[in-house]
Amino acid sequence: MLASERDQLKAEIFKMAKKHDQHRSGLIPVLQHVQNVSRHISPEAMQDIAEAFKIHPVEVQGVVSFYSFLSTEKKGKFIVRLCRTISCDMAGKEAVANQLENELGIEFGETTDDGMFTLEFTNCLGMCDQGPAMLVNEDIHTKVTPETVADIIDNYRNRFGAHVTQGEHA
């Protein structure tokens, strides 16, 4: 991360923390924000966040490691989360999983080299009557099939390609 980027993020962190009166209840909203803008929570960010809330960085790390939507590793621009829980499993998630790996050329738990996609399994998404279900960032996709999955992925690829901005490539 560029020094100026870190400074900018730090300023945002401090501003948000202040909005929460530096109370710990503001910690997770801040972490969510950092995750959103920089796609992970770096050691530097954790230090800044700890400073903003006047707690030890280890405390921050403990929280980050607990939640599956927060991460210390940099994620792709799009995080694909396929439901692996029972109803989606019975509805054929295995074939979808296989095709996702083929389309993206990575395995579950990995991120594509261009930093576009991260592929993950997740637990029940609350769409069990319309499985297999899949989240891409905040969008929900239901009744996904091995055939439709390629289109869904392409769609995100194109959408991003249309407005690539400087410095957004990993």
Partner 1 sequence: MSKTDKKLVIFSDIDVEKALKSALQKSRPDLINEVRDSGLKGRGGAGFPTAVKWNLAAAAQGDRKFVICNADEGEPGTFKDRLLLTDYADQLVAGMVLAGYAVGAKEGIIYLRAEYAYIRKDLEATLEKMRGKKLLGKKIAGKDNFEFDVHIHMGSGAYICGEETALIESLEGHRGEPRNRPPFPVTVGYLGCPTSVNNVETFITVLHIVEKGAKWFKSYGTEKSTGTKLFSVSGDCDKPGVYELPMGISIKKLLETVGGEDAKAVQVGGASGTCVPRKDFDRVIAYEDVSTGGSIIVFGPFRDMLEVAVNFMEFFCDESCGQCTPCRLGTETLLEGLDMLDEGKCSLKYLRELCSLGETMQVSSKCGLGQSAPNAFLSIVENFKSEIFDSRCTCR
Site for partner 1, rule CB under 8 A = 23-29, 31-32, 53, 62-63, 66-70, 84-87, 89-90, 122-131, 135, 138-140
Q: First and final CA of the chain: distance in angstroms?
A: 10
- Which residues neighbour 98 within 8 Å (Cβ) at sequence distance 6 or greater? 146
Calpha distance 166→170 (Å, rounded): 11
Instruction: Note whether 41 binds ligand FES by CB under 6 A.
Output: no
- 9's enclosing H/E stretch is helix 3-19
**With contact defined as beta carbons under 8 Å apart, do 127 and 140 qualify?**
yes
- Please report how close the Cβ of residue 84 comes to ligand FES at its closest, in angstroms: 8
Instruction: Name the token pair of 134.
Output: 């899949």
- In which residue are the tokens 């996702």 written? 100
| Closer of 73 and 129 to ligand FES (Cβ) | 129
Segment interacting with ligand FES, rule: CB under 6 A, options 6-14, 82-90, 100-108, 148-156: 82-90
Q: 94: which 2 tokens?
A: 């295995």
Judged by beta carbon distances under 5 to 8 A according to partner kind, the member of partner 1, ligand FES, none in contact with residue 90 is: partner 1
Q: Which is nearer to partner 1, 159 or 169 (CB)?
A: 159
Residue with token string 């992925």: 153
What's the half-sphere exposure (Cβ side, CA atoms, 13 Å) at 114? 9
Q: Contacting ligand FES (CB under 6 A), which of 131, 141, 144, 157? A: 131
Task: Return the bridge partners of 122, or none.
Answer: 83
User: Residue 126 or residue 161: which is nearer to partner 1 going by CB?
Assistant: 126
- Minimum Å gap between C-beta 128 and ligand FES is 3
Which entry of ligand FES, partner 1, none binds 68, CB below 5 to 8 A by partner kind?
A: partner 1
By beta-carbon proximity to partner 1, the closer residue of 135 and 152 is 135
Binding interface with ligand FES (CB under 6 A): 83, 85-88, 124-128, 131, 133
